[in-house]
Amino acid sequence: MDAKKRYSKEIVFSNLIWRFAERMGAQLVSFVVSVVLARLLIPEVYGKIVLTNVFIMILQVFVDSGFGNALIQKKDADELDFSSVFYINLGFCIVLYSMLFLAAPLIAGVYADPEMTWVIRVLGLTVIVSGVKNIQQAYVSRKMMFRKFFFATLGGTVISGIAGIILAYNGAGVWAVVVQQLSNAFIDTCILWVTVRWRPSEGFSFDRIKQLYSYGWKLLLSSLIDVTYNNLRSLIIGRVYSGSDLAYYDRGQRIPSLVVTNINASIDSVLLPVMSSEQDNVTRVREMCRRSVSVSTYLIAPLMLGLAAVSKPLTVVLLTDKWIESVPFMRIFCLIFMLYPIHTANLNAIKALGRSDIFLHLEVIKKVIGIVALLLTMMISVKAMAYSLLLVSVINQIINAHPNKKLMDYGYTDQLKDIGLNMVLAIGMMLAVYPLSNLSIPMWTVLLVQIITGMAVYLILSVIFKPRGYIYCSSLIKEHLGR
């Protein structure tokens, strides 16, 4: 498909549905698997996995190297561009894994946990797997073939989940999670490789790499700063506090992240290529950004505030009382993730307009503020660290929106007007749901009553006040069903 081609509403909606179905299906299976594993394993096991994944996620930034977004954004990317990036990525992944393999004993020594050495070395193989998969993903995104993701992701998630549960049930401990995560990445990549017909050619061009890197290096550095910063709290909690504290902190963000990732990642994946195709038309980019902010907050705000209201009965029912200490963290992260749609829409607009320099500057400013907040709270308590992250997230949405006032005349004040009614309705729903947690009935019944009440209240409020997101979603669904 020509990168300059304008995507129709039907193409965008269809791909958004496929991407959302892929994320929902995979995350639903992952959620079930994680619940079963959490009931079978102790919190300390998860603390070990969380720490290992931090180092792997940092390396994953280098796996992408900014080339994936550069391939999507470039108007005339061709076979030579894709093949050149594939070869450079794969070679770099092998080098990164070798470094991780050698550094594993040192990392394990810092956290006084010898078992982490081989956990890091085995789970780190996902870095090489990602090197094979990365360009296939960029190809699928550029061609708007998100249906391919659905079968690859769901297949890998189901098979690996079954393997992990069997191993955990038979006493494999931390290795049950290691096998589950590694096999998920491997199977996912194999299915995508079979279903997507693109293969690297023999061609390779350093000139093309340089062209792509001139755009991508800023996104690489931005992503590296972002991922390192986002996981810095986990590294500090694992070192200063206990493995259990880290497990409760991480578990508290799992469910909010699960919900938001499904919706936000779907919008993010489709929004960047669509915005990039319209990069010469600032008015169209502004319209898409505004619609994204309105619709995504209409969907995510009630989900997050509702989840915060039902967090205690939900934790007890799904994970048992041994995870009850994760409830305060879940409530904090619900508020943090509620703001993600605003971040996503603004940053995608900046990237689509080719201003990766602004993107990098924003990341530096935000991370300086975040590190200062972290340093001020890290020795107080884990909860204090979580609250500081919430404060920083509020500040960050203002920072992310600021450049777009000049770039496309859509500043933070305008965005607040578009999301204000959504937030008011979501808060009203939460106030109706939260008191129900005090009912003197079984926890699973409390949870069911809260969920039904929340859905009914929000739908009624939407019909009465008709926020922009509700109108757009209703018309889109009716139009699609009519066809």
Give me the DSSP letters along 282-308. HHHHHHHHHHHHHHHHHHHHHHHHHHH
Q: What is the rounded distance in angstroms from the CA atom of residue 246 to the CA atom of residue 242?
A: 6
pTM, two decimals, is: 0.73
What amino acid is encoded at 233 in this protein?
A: R
CB atoms within 10 A of CB 329: 23
Residue whose entry in the numeric block shows the structure tokens 């926890």: 443
Other beta carbons within 10 Å of 379: 10
Model confidence pLDDT, tens digit, residues 459-477: 999 999 999 888 888 887 7
- Report the Cα–Cα distance between both ends of the chain, in Å, rounded: 24
Domain ranges of the chain: 1-240, 261-483
Distance of alpha carbon 463 from alpha carbon 455, whole angstroms: 12
Q: What is the pLDDT of residue 183?
A: 93
Say if CB 150 and CB 22 are below 8 A apart. Answer: yes
**Tens-digit pLDDT profile for residues 403-447:** 988 888 888 899 999 899 999 999 999 999 999 988 888 999 999
**Pick from 390, 465, 375: which is nearest to 429 by CA?**
465
- The Cα–Cα gap between 273 and 18 comes to 15
**Nearest one of 181, 80, 206 to 135, comparing CA atoms:** 80
Note whether 51 and 239 are within 8 A (CB): no
Residue ranges, the chain, pLDDT below 50: 1-5
